[in-house]
């Protein structure tokens, strides 16, 4: 039976972008899910993310380019193992402070969680996939999961929590919730340097070493 793994890239990033977990950003998704599944069953991995860093407001041009290049390097590394990337966008959103009433612009990613939820339902209803594992703690995915679970018999949806997350209401709709521990992260990193299938060298961004 095929398992489809779906990764909420920015939910994962926001939970790893700190002093404790930044050193694990060079994460090999294929190796991670193989560890979690513990079997050689057929595996298809989908990565939902955003790369239009040029639209970010809170960084200068040099910082935007550096962030984008690091991310593209990671994506290239992941795609060596067959990971399929799906792209959303960054958008600028006007936020009003509830205390002072002042309005300001904030960067938010759009369509990544919506894209994941839509593709999850597509795999379940159109391609008859019966086993899933989702790497996210975003409760916005609950409607899609509920829809699938209430309409398809014998479907199994497991949840892999981002590092540092101990619980989420998303678990209420899933068969099993698995914590992503620091020990597991440490076992699932790419080598600092390795050869791509095209013969070019892929190097871990020095900021992540």
For the segment 56-113, what is each residue's pLDDT rounded down to a tens digit?
666 778 888 898 899 999 999 999 999 999 987 645 445 556 667 665 444 445 567 8
Distances (CA, A) of 6 to 33, 124, 157, 184, 207: 10, 12, 11, 18, 26
In this predicted structure, what is the pLDDT of residue 106? Answer: 47
Q: What pTM did the predictor assign?
A: 0.88
In this predicted structure, what is the pLDDT of residue 174? Answer: 98
Over residues 156-174, the mean pLDDT reads 97
CATH number for position 82: 3.40.50.1010
Is pLDDT at 36 greater than 50 in this prediction?
yes
Is pLDDT at 9 greater than 80 in this prediction?
yes
Tell me the β-bridge partners of 158. Answer: 133, 176
Residue identified by tokens 């916005």 is: 140
Domain that holds residue 171: 3-208
Distances (CA, A) of 126 to 33, 133, 191: 23, 18, 37
| Pairing label, strands 3-8, 43-49 | parallel
Residue range 131-140, pLDDT digits in tens:
999 999 999 9
| Pairing label, strands 3-8, 131-135 | parallel
Counting the structural domains of the chain, the total is: 1
């Amino acid at each position: 039976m095929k398992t489809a793994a779906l990764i909420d890239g920015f939910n994962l990033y926001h939970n790893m972008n700190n002093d404790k977990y930044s050193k694990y950003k060079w994460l090999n998704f294929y190796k991670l899910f193989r560890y979690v599944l513990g079997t050689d069953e057929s595996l298809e991995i989908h990565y939902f993310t955003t790369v239009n860093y040029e639209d970010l407001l809170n960084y200068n041009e040099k910082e935007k380019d550096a962030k984008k290049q690091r991310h593209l390097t990671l994506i290239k590394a992941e795609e060596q193992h067959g990971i399929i990337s799906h792209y959303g966008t960054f958008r600028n959103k006007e936020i009003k402070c509830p205390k002072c009433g002042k309005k300001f612009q904030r960067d938010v990613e759009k369509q990544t969680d919506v894209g994941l939820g839509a593709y999850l339902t597509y795999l379940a209803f159109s391609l008859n996939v019966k086993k899933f594992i989702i790497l996210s703690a975003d409760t916005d995915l609950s409607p899609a999961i509920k829809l699938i679970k209430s309409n398809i018999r014998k479907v199994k949806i497991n949840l892999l929590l981002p590092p540092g997350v101990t619980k989420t209401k998303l678990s209420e709709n899933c068969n099993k919730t698995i914590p992503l521990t620091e020990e597991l992260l440490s076992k699932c990193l790419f080598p600092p340097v390795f050869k791509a299938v095209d013969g070019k060298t892929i190097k871990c961004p020095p900021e992540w070493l």
